[in-house]
Amino acid sequence: MGLRRRSREKTLQILYSMEFNKNQTIQEAVESYLTYFNIASMKWSDKNENQTNNNESSEEESVFITYLLTTVKTNLKEIERLIEEAAINWRIERIALIERNILRMSVAELIDENNGVPFKATINEAIDIAKKFGSKESSSFVNGIINKVADIIDIKNKKL
């Protein structure tokens, strides 16, 4: 699994946890996540000494995770407005937490024209992450919404 994919999956998990800890800062959420997974991975590696620790975060991962979290938090109202506009007859609260946070994270990447990530990569990653973390229908739902958001912001003409 690539660095960006791993970073996006970790970001999704942090965003999900922040749903239950609304007063938590980004830094606190990241530290809490890293503490939990470092403890869990230490327990795993104690039992399985030959296993590598996939939960260790590199500096590059941390930077990308922080970028995604900050972009989501800073632009949350605009991100949710775009999601609701694309998800006709769906209020943001009605969208399941996993899908909601996959969409938030993906739209955050799409609206940042300077991040250097091709919009197709963002969409494909969102679909794959939805397949891994969501229900059977999640990937189709996320695909439909994220493509509509891309059309709304006309990203396909701006960022190839």
- pLDDT tens for 60-76 read 888 899 999 999 999 99
Domain ranges of the chain: 3-158
pLDDT less than 70: residues of the chain:
38-57, 155-160
pTM of the model: 0.83
Tokens 């990530």 correspond to what residue?
A: 117
Question: 66, 69, 71, 82: which is closest to 147 by C-alpha?
Answer: 82
Q: Which numeric CATH code is attached to 3-158?
A: 1.10.940.10
- For residue 138, give Cα distances in angstroms to 86, 106, 118, 133: 15, 14, 22, 9
Tokens 């439909």 correspond to what residue?
A: 144
Which pLDDT score, from 0 to 100, does residue 27 have?
Answer: 86
38 burial via Cβ count (<10 Å: 0-12, 13-18, 19+): middle
Contact (Cβ atoms closer than 8 angstroms) between residue 96 and residue 133: no
Contact (Cβ atoms closer than 8 angstroms) between residue 156 and residue 148: no
Which pLDDT score, from 0 to 100, does residue 77 have?
Answer: 97
